[in-house]
Amino acid sequence: MSDTGIRSRWVLANGVRTHYSEAGDDGKTLVALHGGGAGSSGASGMGLVLPLLGRDFRVLAPDSIGGFGLTDPSAPTPYGLISRTAHTADFVDALCLDKFSLLGNSQGAWSGAYYAMLHPDRVEKLIIVSSLTIATSMGIKQEPNEAMRALMGYDGTRDAMKRLLEALIIDKSRITDKLIDDRQQAATRPGAFEAFRRMAEGIELVRSDPVLRLQTQWQEALPALTRRIPTLILWGTADTFALPATGRALAEMLPDARFEWVEGAGHQVQTDAPDRTAAIIREFLNG
């Protein structure tokens, strides 16, 4: 176990050697899904909030397929985030989880919500953090911005990784050399860059295919899901990637979900404001 209280673990999820980070031992189970920027992982995307939530819950944060973290980069992702959702299903099955709650940031929130649509009997509560991907599936439009360009413009260099993180995290003191180096190492390990590219190709395939793209049109499905499963949405007031206006539009379309603004936080609310985020999530899961 690290001095942060986070444990490094491995599991074979339907043949894919999958790394995950774990905190806590007892209580309800929470599966935390990181976002989609290069080099992201359970530890780098959720690391500050994991030990805080681990005081009350068993928290599991897998590294996704698609070249993320330490998970096998050779795992296929032909259908982009749909494939990532299938990996989430394989992960929870490999750990024999019956019922649990899901927390997801950005693309991870999309995967969590889609898993909940496919398996509503197994998801107790759903927590969505700053997800432009979900907003897009709800038909909400947002123009490209500098933060999006920094995320998509990662070229494999450490400077580009630093710019990527600065686009996601408002509190620059959170962007430590260790965080930059850990994500840079994950993003540039053998096979990771190619896996990241294949994930992007899979996402584009789903968007362009007249049948597959129907699975990403959630104007009816997500409101129905939030009526069935208690849902919390967290959004940073200073998010420069998924803009606050996008969050407000999503809130209007999901009146049954509880919406909480986190003052001064950016796209990674859980990194900018881990104490506040953990407190809101703790109250929601125990309420």
Q: Does 132 map to a domain?
A: yes
pLDDT for 117-126, tens place per residue?
999 999 999 9
Q: What is the pLDDT of residue 227?
A: 98
Question: Residues 105-111: what's their mean pLDDT?
Answer: 98
Question: Residues 206-233: what's their mean pLDDT?
Answer: 97
Query: Rounded CA gap, 150 and 168, in Å?
Result: 9
Question: Residues 23-30: what's their mean pLDDT?
Answer: 94
Q: What dihedral angle (degrees, nearest 10) is formed by the CA atoms of 147, 148, 149, 152?
A: 130
Q: Which two tokens stand for residue 261?
A: 């603004």
The angle subtended at Cα 198 by Cα 193 and Cα 204, nearest 5°, is 130
Q: Does 87 map to a domain?
A: yes
Residue-number span of the structural domain to which 217 is assigned: 7-286
E-assigned strand segments in the chain: 7-13, 16-23, 29-33, 58-62, 100-105, 123-129, 231-236, 258-262
Q: Does 1 map to a domain?
A: no
Query: Rounded CA gap, 230 and 96, in Å?
Result: 23
Query: Rounded CA gap, 5 and 167, in Å?
Result: 27
Q: What is the pLDDT of residue 26?
A: 86
Residue 2's pLDDT band, with cuts at 50, 70 and 90, is low
Question: Residues 191-218: what's their mean pLDDT?
Answer: 96
Kindly report the average pLDDT of the chain as a whole number.
96
pLDDT for 45-66, tens place per residue?
999 999 999 999 999 999 999 9
Write the burial class of residue 198 (CB in 10 Å: 0-12 exposed, 13-18 middle, 19+ buried). buried
Q: Does 157 map to a domain?
A: yes
CATH number, residue 69? 3.40.50.1820
Three-state DSSP at 100 gives strand
Q: Does 77 map to a domain?
A: yes
Q: Is the pLDDT of residue 217 over 90?
A: yes
- Read off the DSSP letter of residue 251: H
Query: Rounded CA gap, 223 and 135, in Å?
Result: 12
Write the burial class of residue 253 (CB in 10 Å: 0-12 exposed, 13-18 middle, 19+ buried). middle
Query: Domains in the chain: how many in total?
Result: 1
Question: Residues 91-118: what's their mean pLDDT?
Answer: 98
pLDDT for 119-173, tens place per residue?
999 999 999 999 999 999 999 999 999 999 999 999 999 999 999 999 999 999 9
Q: Does 2 map to a domain?
A: no
Query: Rounded CA gap, 212 and 190, in Å?
Result: 30
Residue 190's pLDDT band, with cuts at 50, 70 and 90, is very high
pLDDT for 231-266, tens place per residue?
999 999 999 999 999 999 999 999 999 999 999 999
